[in-house]
Amino acid sequence: MIFIAVKFTVRPDRSAEWLDLVEDFTVATRNEPGNLFYEWSRSVDDPNQFVLLEAFENAEAGEVHVNSEHFRTAMAWMPDVIASTPQIINVEVPGTSWSAMAELSPRA
């Protein structure tokens, strides 16, 4: 799968509305046939930073995503809301989902 992590630092005056602003983009991406997951989190250290974890079945599914209308729409408005260029990690990894952590599990 293609695994992508992106850090978005949002302008302080816009960070409270970020998750609402990306809602349509998030729903549309999650509905793409090759999307495995698309999850947002807010940094515990910086209230203006959001982390996106996303995965696609393969490079072709990732290509469909970046060529979609909802991707183009998001890329058109996001520059007005972000405070800096997002940081990204984009790698191909084996598997199609999350794996269980071997070092930790709940006590019985």
Looking at the DSSP bridge assignments, the partners of residue 10 are: 82
pLDDT (average), residues 66-93:
97
Q: Are 65 and 34 in contact (CB under 8 A)?
A: yes
* 21-73: pLDDT as tens digits: 999 999 999 999 999 999 999 999 999 999 999 999 999 999 999 999 999 99
User: Any idea of the CA torsion for 81, 87, 90, 96, to the nearest 10 degrees?
Assistant: -60
DSSP 6: E
- Please state the pTM of the whole predicted model: 0.92
C-alpha distance from residue 33 to each of 17, 30, 57, 61, 62 (Å): 28, 8, 9, 8, 10
